[in-house]
């Protein structure tokens, strides 16, 4: 558990490593840290996570999915920094979902951050790729907005990674995003799905592997790191944000209350899941085949994206989307990769 100190606390407590006022108490590491040492602590933890789970190899091209939110901004900034001494390349992709003002602000944050870090960025507009922004797709499909959004983003990010010849996609998921889903899937005995919630998933034909460099970082730590670094993040929340208490939110609170009395238990839990990821993956039922339209790995004949677009827009759009992304990529990335 990491607690953020308020101004009043900060006046009396000093950093364990220097004379500056502490901004955080990292209880599982028995440390009080100032802004500078806290940021170093988090950066070291992410680099150790990359090494511990062998997330990236020297010479790889890592594509970071930046949403404009603080989690992916933190991943991008730390990976961009680490890439210099670990010897890999970083590029970024942002999906403009066309959710009015919210998407406009999110895109602006992603562009500003990539410009500041000197990271090449490709922006993909959902409306340009399929002829409809997210709100229209949601209305036509009659499915919950976040389920359509998640499906579309997964497909577009993977298609972008294939076209950019990325070795891996980096996501901004942290420990508090993942562990509640692990518990929920355990309760429902969807053991195979737990295997997808570890620090990485491997690449397969038509599917670029995904890594989660914030696997051992908590939500509070991500927020405090973003604050100490002055990283931009989109203000306000997406109009489709679901209010109310979901199972995941209840589990998140439960895990935090256990962590309160047992500092370090969440990291131990995350590491145990990572150790057993192979076992959980082996519980995934069924054969994987390829979508007959676009070649994406799927459990049926047609992938979820082609099914959604066929039902909502009249034709499976996996192949057209790949072709359009190729054109966008060939047109050059923002902050360009030598073109």
| Distant-in-sequence, close-in-space partners of 63: CB < 8 Å, separation ≥ 6 | 91, 92, 93, 157, 160, 161, 164, 166, 168, 169, 170, 208
Task: For strands 89-96 and 61-65, give the pairing.
Answer: parallel
Q: Residue 146 or residue 272: which is nearer to ligand SF4 going by CB? A: 146
By CB under 6 A, tell whether 145 contacts ligand SF4. yes
Of 28, 60, 227, 240, the one binding ligand SF4 by CB under 6 A: 240
By CB under 6 A, tell whether 249 contacts ligand SF4. no
Task: For strands 289-290 and 297-298, give the pairing.
Answer: antiparallel
Which partner from the list ligand SF4, Zn ion, none does 332 bind, CB cut-off 5 to 8 Å by kind?
A: none
Of 34, 137, 149, 217, the one binding ligand SF4 by CB under 6 A: 149
By CB under 6 A, tell whether 157 contacts ligand SF4. no
By CB under 5 A, tell whether 274 contacts Zn ion. no
Stretch that binds ligand SF4, among 6-14, 144-152, 182-190, 301-309 (CB under 6 A): 144-152
The CB-of-240 to ligand SF4 minimum distance in angstroms stands at: 4
By CB under 6 A, tell whether 332 contacts ligand SF4. no
Give how many residues touch ligand SF4 by CB under 6 A.
7
Tokens of 276: 């057993």
Residues 297, 278: Cα–Cα separation, whole Å: 19
By CB under 6 A, tell whether 139 contacts ligand SF4. no
By CB under 5 A, tell whether 154 contacts Zn ion. no
| Distant-in-sequence, close-in-space partners of 246: CB < 8 Å, separation ≥ 6 | none
By CB under 6 A, tell whether 241 contacts ligand SF4. yes
Residues 269, 175: Cα–Cα separation, whole Å: 10
Of 137, 234, 238, 270, the one binding ligand SF4 by CB under 6 A: 238
175 touches 270 (CB < 8 A): yes
Q: Residue 114 or residue 149: which is nearer to ligand SF4 going by CB? A: 149
51 touches 199 (CB < 8 A): no
Q: Residue 206 or residue 232: which is nearer to Zn ion going by CB? A: 206
Residues 262, 268: Cα–Cα separation, whole Å: 11
Rg (CA), the chain: 20
Of 172, 176, 191, give the one whose Cα is nearest residue 269: 176
Of 115, 114, 125, give the one whose Cα is nearest residue 153: 125
Of 67, 200, 318, 324, the one binding Zn ion by CB under 5 A: 318
DSSP 90: E
Question: Which residues contact Zn ion by CB under 5 A?
Answer: 291, 293-294, 296, 303, 306, 318
Question: Which residues contact ligand SF4 by CB under 6 A?
Answer: 145-146, 149-150, 238, 240-241
């Amino acid at each position: 558990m990491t607690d953020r100190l308020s101004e009043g606390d900060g006046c009396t407590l000093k950093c364990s490593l220097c004379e500056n006022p502490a901004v955080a108490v990292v209880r599982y590491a028995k440390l009080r840290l100032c802004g500078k040492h806290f940021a170093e602590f988090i950066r070291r933890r992410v680099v150790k996570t990359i090494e511990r789970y062998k997330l990236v190899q020297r010479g790889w091209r890592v594509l970071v999915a930046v949403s404009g939110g603080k989690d992916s901004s933190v991943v991008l900034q730390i990976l961009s920094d680490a890439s210099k001494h670990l010897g890999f390349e970083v590029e970024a992709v942002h999906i403009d979902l066309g959710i009015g003002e919210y998407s406009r602000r999110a895109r602006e944050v992603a562009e500003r951050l990539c410009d500041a870090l000197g990271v090449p960025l490709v922006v993909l507009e959902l409306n340009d790729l399929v002829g409809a922004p997210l709100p229209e797709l949601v209305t036509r499909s009659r499915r919950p907005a976040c389920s359509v959004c998640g499906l579309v983003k997964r497909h577009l990010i993977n298609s972008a990674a294939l076209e950019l010849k990325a070795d891996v996609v980096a996501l901004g998921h942290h420990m508090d995003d993942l562990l509640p889903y692990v518990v929920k899937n355990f309760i429902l005995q969807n053991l195979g799905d737990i295997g997808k919630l570890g620090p990485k998933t491997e690449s397969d034909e038509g599917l670029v592997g995904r890594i989660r460099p914030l696997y051992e970082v908590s939500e509070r730590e991500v927020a405090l790191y973003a604050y100490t670094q002055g990283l931009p993040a989109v203000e306000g929340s997406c109009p489709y944000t679901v209010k109310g208490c979901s199972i995941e939110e209840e589990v998140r609170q439960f895990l935090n209350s256990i962590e309160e009395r047992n500092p370090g238990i969440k990291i131990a839990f995350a590491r145990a899941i990572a150790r057993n990821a192979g076992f959980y993956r082996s519980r995934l039922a069924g054969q994987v085949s390829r979508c007959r339209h676009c070649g994406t790995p799927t459990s049926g004949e047609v992938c979820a994206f082609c099914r959604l677009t066929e039902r909502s827009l009249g034709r499976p759009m996996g192949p057209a989307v790949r072709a359009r992304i190729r054109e966008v990529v060939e047109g050059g990335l923002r902050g360009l990769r030598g073109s």
